[in-house]
Structures are given as C-alpha cells and as structure tokens.
Chains A and B, each alone.
Chain A
Amino acid sequence: MENYIVSEKTAILNRWFDLIVNTYPDDTARFLKNRGDKFANPVGYTVADNIEILFDEICNEMDFERLNTALDNLLRIRSVQNFTPSQAVDVVYLLKKAIHLEVLEKCVNGQMLQQLLEIENRIDATALMAFDVYVKCREKIFEIRLNEARRGMFKPFSRRQKEDI
C-alpha cells in the first residue's frame, strides 16, 4: 500500500535505533551508535539490521518467518543482557514511539489515522511474538545450564559404568 509511514522509513528507523540503544547506559549507547564494523560492534549492527527487517515486514507482508528470525536475532541478545523481561521486549514498542515522534502530527493532520492504527495493530502483534521469542531464549538458557551441570556430573561416571558392563 502507498503509505506515508513507509515513505518516512529512514527517519523512523534512525529514531527507532536511537531509542533502542538509549536503553543502555550513556557510554554504551555512544559505542553502539558507531556502526563501523560488524564484528567490533555486533550488538549495534544486529539492532540496525534487524529493525529494518521488522519495519519492512510490519509495513508489508508480516511474513512470520522473517519476523521471527529478526526478533530472534534481537531478543537472543537482550535475553542475556541486564534487562527485565518487559525491558527486553520493549524494543518492539519503541517503534510506536519512533513513529509518533517522526510522523504522528502529519498522520493526524493528513487524515492518515487509519494507516497509523493499522501499523500500530501490527506492532502489537509483533510485540506478542517478541514475548514468545524471549521466553524461548530464556528457556534455552536454563536448558543449557541444566545440560552443563548434567555433563559435569554424569559424563565421567557413565564412561566408567560402560566399562563395568
């Protein structure tokens, strides 16, 4: 669809990126904004790459696989960092704030409220998916921890037991 919000993609993405990196302490946010090298700054780079995919999907097809992969890339990081669950999934809602800050006035004035509400509904749906992804990542962490403890305790003995048999 011809969409004013889509036409403002660059400004909205820049704003969204800034809002996300500002969820980190000041010194870290400064570092994350420097997107020079993918390997020197993996977090900043992952955020920039994946919010673009999310934006494109939210404004277009809402392809589940692409949304899910992008959310996974973002939340896999935030799941292990020092965020509460709500702070971690907040990245999706920050898109609403970014849109409001960039285009809300024009949307209201230009009678484009319908488009805005549709996008907001999609953001809400994406946020719910984000919650699923977050929980999946956390479950994985505990699974790994359990496996690690099991490996440490049982592996040596199982080898011995094998020999006894």
Chain B
Amino acid sequence: MAEKLPKPEQLAEDIKYSPPPKDWMDPKTEFKKGTFNYSAVPSALDYLDLPNPGKWQPHDEEWPLPDNWQETVLEGMRDRLKKYRSFQVFMDICVRCGACADKCHYFIGSGDPKNMPVLRAELLRSIYRRDFTTIGKILGPLAGGRKLTVEVLKEWFFYFYQCTECRRCSVFCPYGIDTAEITMMARELMNLIGISIDWICTPAANCFRTGNHLGIQPHGFKDSVDFAVGDLEDITGIKVDVPINEKGHEILFVVPSADYFADPHYYGFLGYLALFHEIGLDYTMSSFASEGGNFGLFHSADMMKRLNAKIYAEAKRLGVKWILGGECGHMWRVLHQYMDTMNGPADFLEEPVSPITKTKFENAKSTKMVHICEFTADLIKNNKLKLDPRRNDHRVVTFHDSCNPSRAMGLLDEPRYIIEKVSNNFFEMPENTIREQTFCCGSGAGLGTDENLEMRLRGGLPRANAVKFVHDKYGVNMLACICAIDKATLPPLLEYWVPECGVCGVHELVGNALLMKGEKERDTDYRGEPMILGKKAEAETEVAQKEAKDAG
C-alpha cells in the first residue's frame, strides 16, 4: 500500500509552473465571472425585431441555438463576403507576419494569445477557410480550416466581445487589414442567431425608441438641460438660454447623452453651454436627436444606420444650416466615416462656416457636421475667447487620444491646442501611447459594463501604465479626453491603476478657464473644487526665491 504512494520529491517534480500547451484550433472557453458581458435581454431584441433565443447567459452549459444555426451563420457569411469586398480581402490576404500581434491592449494586458489580433481574426478565418475556399474544403484542418461548432461559437462570443474595435492593430498592419471590421462581421453573424450582449442591445432599443441610449424621454431631456442651466447659473451667476427643438436657428448641436446625465461628462456639458452663451451662438438642441453616440456601430451596419437616421432628419425638420457635435468617440466614427453615405446626402444643409470667425470647415463639406474641438480651437486661434488658464492651475493635465477621433478622423492637434491655451500644466504621455498609436480605454464597443470589469482592467492596463508614468514623473492629476465612453470607464480604471488621477473632458477645462462677461467672482471650478489661481506662478516664485537665497 505504502509503495503506491508517491514520495514528496516525486510530487514536487510533478508541479508544473507553466500552463499546458494548447492547440488554438481546439477551443474550450471558460466563462469566468467578471470577464464577459451578459446576454441581450429578450425585450430589447423584440423591440428591435431581432432574432430572440429567449433568456440565457454565456456561462450556461447549453446555449439556446436554433436547429439550423450553422446554416444561418454560414449563409450570413456568404452574403457579407459578397457585399463587402474588404471582408473578402481581409479573410484572404493576411500572411501572419505578426506585426499586429503585440499591439492589442487586450493582449498586452491579459496575456491571452487569442487576443493577438491575428489570432482573433483567425477564429473567424478558420471557418471561412473550411467552408469558402477550395483548399480548405479538401484539406480541412491541414489548411487551417475548422468546423463551426458550438465551442467555436462560444469562443467567438468570448473574444469578439473582448475586441474594442479601437483599430490600433490596423495602424501596424502592412496590408491595412482592419481587424475592427473583422470583429464587426463576427458580431453581425452572431446577431443573426440572437447571440448578442445586453449593453449593446438595450441601449440600441432605447435609442430607437426615444433617441438616446438611456431611454430619456423629451421632458426628461429638457429637465436635465434645465438643471445644467441652473447649475451653471449657481457657479457663474449667469443664466444661459438653451433652445430645444426650436426651428429657425443656424446650428443643431448634438451631444452624446452621457454629457447631460453622467459624471464627469456633465462638467464638459456646462463648458459647452457657457461657451455658446459667451459667443452668442445661434443654435438649438433636439430632444429627438438627443444622442450622438450610436451603439448600433457595435451591433451591425443596419442598426447603426437606423439609429443614425435621426440626426439628418432633425436637422432638416428644424431647418438648421449645419450641425455641431460634442465630445464623443465612436459617435464621430459614425458621423465622419459613415453618416454621409448611409443617410445622406445632406444636400439640404450648407457647408459649415463658423458664424463667429467666418472660418469654412472644408473638412466637413460633405457631412456638414463639425467637431466641437475644431470649432473651439478655431475660436481661440482667432482670439474670440477671453481665457484665464490659471483657473486650471490645480490641474496637471495629460491628454488621452480617444481611439475613434484620433484613428478614424485624425483629430490630433485641435484638442491639444485647446488644452495648451486653457491650462498651464500640460504633459504628454510617451510617444507610442498617444496620437495614432493611442491605447484604448479597454471598454469601448459595448464592453463597458460592471459585470465585465476584470476584463476591462486587463484591457486598460497599457493606457493606465502610461498615465502612471506621467503621474509619477510630472505629477499629472487629470486625464483629459474627448470621448463619452472614456469619461465613463477611465475613472474606475484609474481608481485601480492610478488612483491619484482624475478624468475630465476638454471642454470642462475650457469652461473653467472661460472669462464670461458679467460673471460673479469665482473661487471654485465646475466641480465645486477650489481653484488655486496662480499656483504655478507662486511655485515658480518660491523656487526663484529659494535659488536666489541659495546663491546669495
């Protein structure tokens, strides 16, 4: 009996410190709590007329799939290969050079090889090879082909809802493969059989019903705006006027709904209102186009189109000349890259011209929609604003390029120009973590839920690491950004990785620095925190005095 028991040395020898090697072709997905999003609720799917498998969760052993689900998915793939030339090309041309492999924030932060963009795309490509290429049909696994099984589907769900469609990998791909588009296709295919996540479908259903993701009805929208007007009056002593649904104004102003509802977005919203009042802008907001963001982008091309249609429709109904848009990330990918061809042409609008500076925004000639940072940077450049950057001296600021404004529309310099004019302490993060190479917040494309927090903390690690660097080196205590999802999800990310650093919108800094005609004496910023005017100047004086003393 005793002979059969292993000796302690033998036991110790058997302890393996490395994980066992696994073949990626052979999937077994573990849905560990904290690392995935909950499934779409039936009521949201019904509202959007989407296939509805009923109540289920990703960690259920059995998924409620229709009998012919493989056929539906493969048929959907065939349709999309025909419809989108880029999809066909992206399936065929990857040579697995590995340039993208270590560029994904999710791979860097999680250490999971299936988050290498090349391997994530391969999860879909392997099915394509087996069912749509001659060599794959003949050789199967030898040619890198895989059969579409339930395990493969589970793996798709797990990994394609870990991609934030940020497109950092595509910056490095020598062939220009846009992995975000591969993720989009995979999500579309899963949607065909009702496999989707709640944080995309419920906001989309809300947006379809009321015009915004939160489902705020017109009177609620007006309440929120009125409240902001009241708050701004408390802070500045000035009561601003915010027209809603009024016809005959020059500009329609569209913001992501979080701007008038969530923290810290709200302070940037106050900044917009103060700015528009100060320059006397002739604008209106719409309680129907009350959401610039578009979670349809994370669902499917059709859903994106449905949710976006209201913007041009409201611009037409209200009879404006052009559209101005607030700080948001994915909203701008939709507006800048898709809106014009999806729901345009907006031939009833005019080429945007700033009524204050007369600058023509030629870049928006076709979409007729201008980014608030372009608009404000132009105002500052033409000396139309009175600014006191010392009012932001209690902030040591760095700027996070949000993925979509930077990579999808090239908005790199305008926010920086603004920040430099409204604050005295601005420090850049390292070169390979900003501008086109910016690291994602890790929570875009529908992944920003609390049930997915652990995964988000992995995905946000590279961004937080760069923030920590400038915090340690320069004392940065505020991360400015121009994206609603960033503003919602970077605070918890930084609470974990760099708790000393806050998050704000660029127009919060603008609002704080803006000297308004007739304003009362201010000693707090929009957050009610004390402004320490001239802190930097005082510190510099102290240093100079000390140096003089030492020298003397």
Residue contact B109 to A43, C-beta cutoff 8 Å: yes
Q: Does A14 contact B (CB under 8 A)?
A: no
Q: Which of B392-400, B407-415, B419-427, B460-468 lies at the binding interface?
A: B460-468
Contact of A148 with B458 at beta-carbon distance under 8 Å, contacts A31-B102, A37-B432, A163-B227 already known? no
B497:A76 contact, CB within 8 angstroms: yes
Asked if B484 is an interface residue, CB under 8 A from chain A, the answer is: no
- Contact flags A1-39 to B (C-beta < 8 A → 1, else 0): 000000000000000000100111111110110000111
**Contact in complex: A141, B450 (CB < 8 Å):** no
Enumerate chain A residues within 8 angstroms of B110, measured Cβ to Cβ: 81-82
Closest B residue to A40 by CB, please name it: B432
Residue of A nearest to B105 (CB): A42
CB-CB < 8 A to A43: which residues of B? 108-109, 111, 461
Closest beta carbon of chain A to B339's beta carbon, Å: 29
255-288 of chain B: CB within 8 A of chain A: 261-263
Bound Cα distance A29, B21 (Å): 12
- Choose, from A51-59, A120-128, A151-159, the stretch at the interface: A151-159
Question: A residues within 8 A CB of B84?
Answer: none
CB distance from A127 to the nearest CB of B (A): 15
User: Contact between A81 and B458 (Cβ–Cβ < 8 Å)?
Assistant: yes
- Interface status of A90 (Cβ within 8 A of chain B): yes
Residue of B nearest to A20 (CB): B17
Please tell me if the beta carbons of A155 and B262 are within 8 angstroms of each other in the complex: yes
Q: Which residues of B contact A32 (CB under 8 A)?
A: 111
Cα-based distance from A144 to B483 in the complex (angstroms):
21
- Chain B CB count within 10 A is highest, among A40, A97, A140, A152, for A40
Closest A-chain residue to B110, C-beta based?
A81
Chain B residues, Cβ within 8 Å of A80: 454, 457-458, 461, 496
Tell whether B113 is near chain A: CB-to-CB under 8 Å. Answer: yes
Number of chain B residues close to chain A: CB under 8 A: 41
**Do the beta carbons of B108 and A42 come within 8 Å of each other?**
yes
Query: With an 8 A cutoff between CB atoms, is A129 at the interface?
Result: no
Residues of A within 8 A of B108 (CB): 40-43
B302 at the interface (CB under 8 A from A): no
* Known A23-B19, A39-B432, A81-B110: A141·B457 in contact at CB below 8 Å: yes
The minimal Cβ–Cβ distance linking B20 to chain A, given in whole angstroms, is 9
Q: Is the interface of A mostly helix, strand, loop or mixed?
A: helix
For residue A152, give the distance in angstroms from its CB to the closest CB of chain B.
7
Give min CB distance, A139 to chain B, whole Å.
11
A-B CB pair tally, cutoff 8 Å: 104
The yes or no answer to A107 lying at the interface (CB within 8 A) is no
Q: Which residues of B contact A28 (CB under 8 A)?
A: 107, 111-113
Interface centre among A26, A90, A145 (most CB of B within 10 A): A145
Known: A41-B108, A82-B110. A145 touches B261 (CB 8 A): no
Query: Any chain A CB within 8 A of the CB of B85?
Result: no
Instruction: Determine if A97 and B17 form an interchain contact, defined as CB atoms under 8 angstroms apart.
Output: yes
A31 touches which of B19, B34, B101, B109 (Cβ 8 Å): B101
**For residue A60, which residues in chain B have a CB less than 8 angstroms away from its CB?**
none
- Whether B492 sits at the interface, judged by CB under 8 Å, is yes
A interface footprint on B149-181 (CB within 8 Å = 1, 0 otherwise): 000000000000000000000000000000000
For residue A138, which residue of chain B has the nearest CB? B454
- Nearest B residue to A163 via CB reads B227
A149 is an interface residue with CB less than 8 A from chain B: yes
Q: Inside 8 A of A77's CB, which chain B residues have their CB?
A: 461
Interface mask (B430-442 → A, CB under 8 Å = 1, otherwise 0):
1011000000000
Say whether A24 contacts B469, CB under 8 Å. no
Q: Is the CB of B496 within 8 A of A39?
A: no
Give the nearest-CB partner of B499 in chain A: A140
Shortest Cβ distance from residue A154 to the other chain B in the assembled complex, whole angstroms? 11
CB distance B32 to A144 under 8 Å?
A: no
Min CB–CB distance A159 → chain B (angstroms): 6
List of B residues within 8 angstroms of A160 by Cβ: 223, 227
Contact, CB under 8 Å: A26 / B21:
yes
Contacts of B22 in A (CB 8 A): 25
For the complex, what is the distance from the CA of A160 to the CA of B263, rounded to whole Å? 14
Q: Report the separation of the CA atoms of residues A144 and B494 in the bound assembly, to the nearest whole angstrom.
A: 10
Other 9 A-B pairs with CB < 8 A, given A26-B113, A156-B261: A23-B19, A25-B21, A26-B21, A31-B107, A39-B469, A41-B108, A81-B458, A94-B17, A141-B453
Q: Which residues of B contact A (CB under 8 A)?
A: 17-19, 21-22, 32, 34-35, 101-102, 107-113, 116, 223, 227, 230, 261-263, 430, 432-433, 450, 453-454, 457-458, 461-462, 465-466, 469, 492, 495-497
